[in-house]
Structure 1
Amino acid sequence: MVKLSVVGIFADLDESAIADVERHVNRKTFAAGTQIIEPESDSSDVYLILSGRVRIVNYSLSGREITLEEIGAGGCVGQLSAIDGQPRSACVIAVDDTSVGILSPANFEKVVKNHPSVAWNVISELARIVRNSTRRIVDVSTLGANERVVAEILRRANNVCDDNGSALLSPVPVHSEVAGRVSTSRETVARVMSTLGRRQLVTKVDTGLFVPDVRRLEEFLSESIH
């Protein structure tokens, strides 16, 4: 059984504190493709991702799926509704077979109040969400669709950049997922990826998408903007 200590908000808890939290948690497994949280629903449980991966999505008025974030083992979702009691603001879907620990709003409140380090980690996580949302708003407001695609690939590359200034994105980013992430079409993503490939800014390899020089990709984006 996966221990709750893998969850980031519990990182500072000792074994006895983890055992205390465990008493309040129900565990459940969702098959890949299953909807875990329905948008606008009144449920307010917090889901702790123990294994697997989930995608947080929303939908435009035209019905286009917009990917907000993907969260793997160690993350959590649903804390906003648990805090303010408002309906869900997004949909959460299991990307892989995913095991979660579920905290009811009342139990989430107990854990936060009983363990100050958890409260601080929740605050830090909410701050991260605000920063990411702000960045996305700026990107959508100031960048064209092509530039948003490049910016997304650059963001991913920066997250895994090695000491040589290169990066391997594994698996290869799925065009539809990138399109949802940056609010554009799959055709636009395919066109931009083709351009990056011709310029040798990215290369498909057996293990993923290789970015040989992250700085060059950043310079390409900067030149495209200006």
Structure 2
Amino acid sequence: MQPSSLGLRRILLLQGLSTARLDAISQRCAWRSCTRDQRLVAREDADCSVHFIVSGRVCVTTYSASGRETSFRELAQGMYFGELAALDGRPRSADVVALTPGLVASMPPEAFRDLLREEWTVNERVLLQLADLARSLIDRVMELSSLTVQQRLCMELLRLAQASGGAAGAVRIEPIPRHTALAHRVSTYREQITRELSSLTRAGVLARDGAALVVRDMARLQHIAKGASTATPPAKTGA
């Protein structure tokens, strides 16, 4: 596909760069469209490019030796992936699969390193992103090693609710997450997710409203995430 700096203006990492700079960057990228469920990056692949998501949405995931899938995060338009391999030259650590049709601009590793040397603002953003990634992975390891499936599911629902802009009261998560996708995110099976969602619904914590999953009580969901029973409401505080 023909390169275009217009698409790169959507990339958060590159915001603030001049049109001339974006034009130069676009010329160093390979542009390609992708289809839903297309694998963009394969684990252990030797490709070390950085990929800018001009449009669409992708999932970073990996598979165990038995074929069980664990998803780490979803990335949307304006974000990027592949910086680890571009920095250290090692094979890919995860698969990246397109969740929707989209457009990706891929920058060779040497061009990406040049960009980091020449643009301190971009360099700083990458450092902050890597710090955030490290913290989130530490949290993820702690969840997988110390929490029950119900707690892990509640933590994931809290993240989705907060990403939807909700902090208290009733919060809508749209569209309703697929049970299979939730299972991949919390490292369990779809059937277990179905059972836990049903339990939370019977307890009045969740409800379905058309294409949305409604968290009716964020405080109660947080309470269950900490290990309380679905039948036990959080203790009220105050005089």
Q: TM-score range by the shorter chain?
A: over 0.9
1:5 — aligned with what? 9
- Which protein has the larger Cα radius of gyration, Structure 1 or Structure 2? 2
- The residue type paired with residue 141 of structure 2 is I
- Could you tell me how far apart the structure 2 residues matched to 1:187 and 1:165 are? 28
Partner in structure 1 of residue 76 of structure 2: 72
Task: Tell whether the 8 Å contact from 2:151 to 2:224 is kept in structure 1 after alignment.
Answer: no
The answer to whether the 8 A contact 1:161-1:214 is kept is no
**Contiguous gaps of at least 5 residues in structure 2:** 233-239
Residues 174-213 of structure 1: pairs in structure 2 closer than 5 A: 174-213=178-217
Deviation at 1:46, TM superposition (A): 0.8
Superposition map of 1:32-51 within 5 A: 32-51=36-55
Measure the CA separation in 2 of the matches of 1:24 and 1:165. Answer: 48
Q: Is the 8 A contact 1:53 1:73 kept in 2?
A: yes
1:100-115, aligned counterparts within 5 Å? Answer: 100-115=104-119
- 1:121 matches 2:138: no
In the alignment, which of 85, 88, 111 is matched to residue 89 of structure 2?
Answer: 85
Q: CA deviation at 1:164?
A: 5.5
Distance of 1:189 and 1:89 partners within structure 2: 27
Secondary structure at the aligned position of 1:6 is classed as: coil
Amino acid paired to 1:23 = Q
Aligned letter for 1:88?
R
Aligned 8 A contact 1:151 1:221 in 2: yes
Asked which structure has the greater RCO (Cα within 8 Å, sep 6+), the reply is 1
Q: Which amino acid is 1:204 matched to? A: R
Distance 2:131 2:192 in 1: 31
**1:33 and 1:93 in contact (8 A); partners too:** yes
CA distance in 1, matches of 2:179, 2:53: 25
Q: Aligned with 2:9: secondary structure?
A: helix
TM-score of the two chains, using structure 2 as the length reference = 0.89
Q: Distance in 2 between matches of 1:7 and 1:189?
A: 34
Residue-by-residue CA offset, 1:142-192 (whole Å, 9 max, x unaligned): 101221111111221122243753321111011111111111111110011
Is 1:145 the counterpart of 2:160? The answer is no
Query: In the alignment, is residue 97 of structure 1 matched against residue 131 of structure 2?
Result: no
Distance 1:83 1:219 in 2: 41
Q: How many residues align?
A: 226
- Tell me the distance in 2 between the aligned counterparts of 1:216 and 1:11: 39
| 8 Å CA contact 1:112, 1:118 repeated in 2 | yes
Q: Which amino acid letter does the alignment assign opposite residue 137 of structure 1?
A: V
- Could you say which residue in structure 2 is the equivalent of 1:169? 173
Q: What is the CA-CA distance between 1:62 and the residue it aligns to?
A: 1.7
- Structure-2 change in CA distance of 1:3 and 1:144 (3 Å): same
Structure 2 CA distance for aligned equivalents of residues 18 and 89 of structure 1: 29
Normalised to the residue count of structure 1, the TM-score between the two structures is 0.94
* C-alpha distance after superposition, 1:52-101 (max 9, x if no partner): 00111111222101101110101111110000000000001111002111
Q: Is the 1:150–1:192 contact (alpha carbons within 8 Å) kept by the matching residues of 2? A: no
Inter-partner Cα distance in structure 1 for 2:200 and 2:120 = 47
Q: Which runs of 5+ in 1 are unaligned?
A: none
